[in-house]
Amino acid sequence: MDDLIWDEQLPVHLLRERDPSGKLFIAHIQPKFSWACILKLYTLGIWSHYKHDAAGSLLAFLGLAWVWYRRRSAAADTECTAQMMRTVLAKLREQARDHARDPTTGSPYLLPARLRDELLQHELALGERRRIWSMVERVVGANANVRTSLEETVEGEEALVWTWLGSL
């Protein structure tokens, strides 16, 4: 009964509608929203229209950031490899020079494993050590002044060694 009385008293600027279950909905013809509500509706409208573009842009940005990071990492690895290669070649040259002066002081070669442990002692991550040292081994092994061979060490073990062949 109250619903019937309420339905009769609705002003002209209000709309009324009932859903199939009988629930009454009333709406104003000219909506008056708060600024927060207007901003929320506007933002949701923009998002629903541009969400695929925004997701694509985000993925493109993340992809470019990943490529940039990989290039910077590769450049840093190349610089580290070049620096270590210079150090290894200097140590090999010095070892050969010392052996040429006095053959009783030591062997003419150096063990790559000991050089690796000495030069990469600051690098704690095993994967990083392996990756960097494999690049150093590849560059030093390709050098014409260095011979890679299998020698018997002072301890009696056979090990891979590097020997300097270039000028002293």
Taking CA atoms, 91 is separated from 54, 87, 115, 116, in Å, by 55, 6, 9, 12
Cα 4 → chain centroid:
68
What share of the chain in percent tops pLDDT 70? 92
Answer whether residue 123 is part of any domain.
yes
DSSP bridge pairs for 162: 110, 148
Arithmetic mean of pLDDT over the chain:
88
Strands 24-28 and 146-152: unpaired
pLDDT band at 167 (very low <50, low <70, confident <90, very high): confident
Distance (Å, rounded) from C-alpha 42 to C-alpha 51? 14
Over residues 48-64, the mean pLDDT reads 96
Answer whether residue 40 is part of any domain.
yes
Domains in the chain: how many in total? 1
Distance (Å, rounded) from C-alpha 98 to C-alpha 96? 5
Which single residue is written with the structure tokens 């050969």? 96
Answer whether residue 23 is part of any domain.
no
Answer whether residue 98 is part of any domain.
yes
Contact predicate 159/90, CB 8 Å: no
Distance (Å, rounded) from C-alpha 71 to C-alpha 59? 18
> Residue 107 is which amino acid?
S
Please give the backbone phi and psi of residue 109, each rounded to the nearest 5 degrees, phi first. -120, 170
Answer whether residue 61 is part of any domain.
yes
Answer whether residue 62 is part of any domain.
yes
pLDDT band at 10 (very low <50, low <70, confident <90, very high): low
pLDDT band at 5 (very low <50, low <70, confident <90, very high): low
pLDDT band at 149 (very low <50, low <70, confident <90, very high): very high
Report pTM: 0.66
> Domain limits at 50?
35-164
88 exposure class (CB count in 10 Å sphere: 0-12, 13-18, 19+)? buried
Contact predicate 16/28, CB 8 Å: no
Please give the backbone phi and psi of residue 106, each rounded to the nearest 5 degrees, phi first. -175, 180
The confidence score (pLDDT) of residue 1 equals 44
Over residues 1-25, the mean pLDDT reads 70
Answer whether residue 5 is part of any domain.
no
Provide the 3-class DSSP secondary structure of residue 106: coil
Greater model confidence, 61 or 16: 61
Answer whether residue 45 is part of any domain.
yes
